[in-house]
Amino acid sequence: MRTRVISLAVLSCGLLGVLASNPARAEIGASGTRLSVSGAAPRFYMTYGHAQEPELYAPIVDELRRLQVTFQRRGEDYLVYFRGVKIGDWPIVRKREELPETGEDPCVLVLGGQVFVPVRKLEEMKLVRVRVDKATNFVSIAPGTPKVVSGVTAQQPTAPGAPDDGSLIALTGVEVNQNGGVMQIRIRSSAPIRPTMLRLKNPPRLVLDFGDARWQDGVQVPDGGVQVKKLRLGHPIPTTARLALDLDSDLVNLTGLKVTNGEVLATVGQGQQVARANISPDTASQIIKAIQQRNSGRRMGDRSLPPLPIDVTNLRPDVEPPSVDPGTGLRVRPAGSLAGKLIAVDAGHGGHDSGAHGLNHYEKDLCLKMCLELKAALEARGASVLLTRSSDSYVSLDERCRLANSSNANLFISIHCNSTPRRNSASGSQTYWRTPQSMRLARAMHSRLVGAVGGKNGGIRNRSFCVIRETNMPSVLLEIAYINNSQDEQLLASPGFHGNLADSLAQGVLDYYGVDIAE
């Protein structure tokens, strides 16, 4: 999934008049983005990406000096400094389509002699604070709140926009105990909570996300050790607290995860990765009660709600059990099991927006082929399908959301291909969700996606992409595989794969509705 760099022409009074009459929009328009750094007078910049999403890049290296953030070129990298202290070493990317899609791995885009830096990554590092006025396409960048004391970073982690009504669990401390090649990390909390885990590569990282929680102000981050180079705290969204561990190597895993009433104990070292948390029935019961209390009175589909803090599928069923054939004992799928369901299927990019590309194919073409197959597979199971595009045409992000919302679709599924700064540097599949109502759909679709592709499991991630943020129904964005990975591209282009993928994703929808097909 890729957006594009917008060229900024000479601004005139006529252009400003067009801007004033143009309402809110998700995509950056031909005028560029109006941006102010550290209180300076706003001006228009040529930018890359979407102001509300992880991939916003802006040519503001000179302006960031006012915030004591500096960039120094060294070979094919940029060294990043804050107040004279080196905080990063980011590679240079010279093609727009090779930028990391989600902003996970920071880099610097160099195009036409201009240097574009990842604004959202700087915000994640608390070097800057970013505010977006979508209606006027205006971005304000102010000083952040980092503090460095004797080599220990004292975070100010309370996420902007987090509710202050006691509904979030407070994570009150982090302690580290190093015992040879094993590190134990103890996370203390004000109430029972269980994290979800995400494994990232290039560089190797473990991420523990605590839903319905926030880091208490003033929590200090301990130093790393033998297996974990660095620990970082943050909030990927206002209602989720994150602990990220930068690992020494790919051989290091989360080998233990124990949950008790007031703390989580994570063990990190070389060994088999733990599949799920060790949690006592008493603690499980308390967690379920906490969920029920926090969810009381909430409306399904309310996007202001935080996500559930745990995967409760091991504690109680999410859905009613499917019917069982008394003759065979097999769980069965009723005929026309998706009858009455309208599913919006969104093929990424299109028209002049080609998306990412491999050696022989464009993302827009492969996405459309996969979506047409998915449409047929869903219709064969009784569903009605709305395609946001059925040909090589350009449809704006706003229009895709409007089509799905106005049709009152039950689900929204967006199909994309991933790409990386360096060819053949990554492979695998990822699933993205944004609103709390979409979590269960993401889980159902992701397991089927990974099974169909057969590659690396890139995890389920929460990101603020427009088409899963602005749609009213449960929505997911699927990154099927990496188009700039030679093997992945060959798979993505295979007609046989398209049919297998469509059947698997259709089964994911059946899983979501709690219906199984007899084997």
Task: Tell me which residue has tokens 């190797």.
Answer: 204
Question: Six-digit token pair at 398?
Answer: 């706003």
Please state, in angstroms and rounded to a whole number, the distance separating the CA atoms of residues 51 and 66: 21
Distant-in-sequence, close-in-space partners of 17: CB < 8 Å, separation ≥ 6:
none
Instruction: Name the one residue in this structure whose structure tokens are 């015992």.
Output: 179
479 catalytic residue (yes or no): yes
Query: Is 311 within 8 Å of 379 (Cβ atoms)?
Result: no
* Three-state DSSP class for residue 403: helix
Amino acid at 126: K
> What sign results for the dihedral spanned by CA atoms 339, 446, 448, 503?
positive
Q: Distance of CA 469 to CAs 56, 122, 403, 438, 474, Å?
A: 16, 22, 14, 10, 10
Tokens of 44: 């228009």
CA-to-CA dists, residue 497 to 370, 391, 426, angstroms = 9, 20, 20
Choose the catalytic residue: 63, 97, 124, 479. 479
Strand partners, 431: 460, 478
CA torsion through residues 81, 85, 90, 91, sign: positive
Residue 184 and residue 161: Cα distance in Å, rounded? Answer: 32
* DSSP symbols for 40-104: PPPEEE--BS-TTSTT-EE--HHHHGGGTEEEEEETTEEEEEETTEEEEEEEEE-SGGGS-SSSS
Distance, CA of 138 to CA of 476 (rounded, Å): 27
**Residues designated as active site:** 479
